[in-house]
Amino acid sequence: MRIGCPTEIKNHEYRVGLTPESARELVAHGHEVWIESGAGNGIGADDAEYRQAGAVIKDGPDAIFAECEMVVKVKEPQAEERARLRQGQILYTYLHLAPDPPQTADLVASGVTAIAYETVTGPNGSLPLLKPMSQVAGRMSIQAGATALEKAHGGRGVLLGGVPGVLPAKVLVIGGGVVGFNAAQMAVGLGADTTILDRDPAVLERVGIHFESRAKTRFSNKANLEEAVCEADLVIGAVLIPGAAAPKLVTREMLKCMQPGAVLVDVAIDQGGCFETSHPTTHADPTYVIDDVVHYCVANMPGAVARTSTYALNNVTLPHALSIAELGWKEAMRRDAHLAAGLNVHAGQVTYKAVADELGYEYRPIDEVLA
C-alpha cells in the first residue's frame, strides 16, 4: 500500500502522523511511504531521517492526497485538506466529528473512508488510541492552569502549591478517567488542594485508593459540582462520552460565584467542551475571560509538546496502520472489532452512531459495511 503523511497545518500543531521509526516499519513490511517535506520538523526529525528510513519525500501535500491510498495524520483535516480527499481513500487520524458539522459534511461528500483514532476501542471499553493524548493533555492542563493563574496572565495570582504559612490553591478535576487521573497526579505532585469529581463509584474508589489522603474524591451531582466549582481556584474539565459531544456541566450561572481570576481549563474542547462558556482557542491565543473567569480551551494541547506526543501516539497507532496496510481496511476490521469501532464515515455514510445521532445523519451500522 502507498501511505502518505502530510505536514499538519492546524494552528501551532507540530506533531506528525508518522515518525521515521514508524515509516521504517511500514517500509520493512513492503509498503511505500510518502512524507511531505518538513512534516517531521516539529519533532526534530528532518527529511534525511525519513529518507534513511526508506520513505519518499514529497514537496507539498498535493501528491500525497492525490496518489496515496491511505493518509495518516494527527489532527482532523482542515478545510483545504478535506477538499483534497477522494472516494476510496483511507483517512486515519483524530476526527472528533460530533461537535464539527462542517467537517462531517465534507467527509461525507468526499466519499473517503475515515477511521478515527478516538473511537477505536480496546478491552473493557477502553480507548487505547486516545489514551496517550489524554495522558498528555491531563498533565498539561495543570501546567496551563498554573500559568493562567498567574496575575500577568489574568489569573488570581495564586501558586498551586502555596508556600509554608500560605494555603495552596484549590484544584477541582471534573472526571476521574484518563485525563482527570493524570491532571490529579500533577496537581497533587505540585502540592495543590485537589478534589476529583465523578459519578461512577468504581472510579471514585480507584482514584481514592491511589491518591489516599493526597486528594479528595466527591460524587458528582449538581449540588456538589456547583459547590466545588465556586470554591475552586482552578477547574479542569475532563469529561468524555466516546465519540459524542461533551455534556455542558459547568453553566455560565456557576461562574458568578467563582473568585475573579479563577481559571477553567476545558480538556474536553475537542468534543465541544464541558463548560457552557467554552469555545476553541489556539496556542497562539489560548485564553479569554468571561465574567472575570479565565478560560483556557486550546483544542490541540498535546501539540505543544510535539515530540513526546508524537512518539506516544505512534506507539499505539502503528499496529493498526500496519494491519490496514497488510489486509486492507475492510478485512482488517473484519478480523478486529476494536479497529472496526474506529470507522466513522465510509462512502458518503456515517457509520458511528453517536455522530449520526448528534448531527442528524442516517446511521449505517459497521456490520452492514463489512458484510
198 known ligand binder: yes
239 known ligand binder: yes
Q: How many CB atoms lie within 10 A of CB 60?
A: 12
H helix intervals, 85-167? 101-110, 131-148
Contact 24, 33 (CB under 8 A): no
73 known ligand binder: no
213 known ligand binder: no
301 known ligand binder: yes
Contacts of 119 (CB under 8 A, 6+ apart): 127, 242, 243, 341, 342, 344, 352
* Residues assigned a catalytic role: 96, 270
22 known ligand binder: no
The dihedral sign for the CA sequence 102, 104, 107, 110: negative
299 known ligand binder: yes
110 known ligand binder: no
Beta bridge partners, 294, equal 263, 289
| 294 sits in which H/E element | strand 293-296
200 known ligand binder: no
Instruction: Give the amino acid at 138.
Output: G
300 known ligand binder: yes
Nearest to 307 by CA among 23, 15, 37, 48: 15
15 known ligand binder: yes
- Binding site membership: which residues? 15, 75, 134, 198, 220, 239-240, 267-270, 298-301
- Binding site membership for NAD(+): which residues? 134, 198, 220, 239-240, 267-270, 298-301
- Binding site membership for substrate: which residues? 15, 75
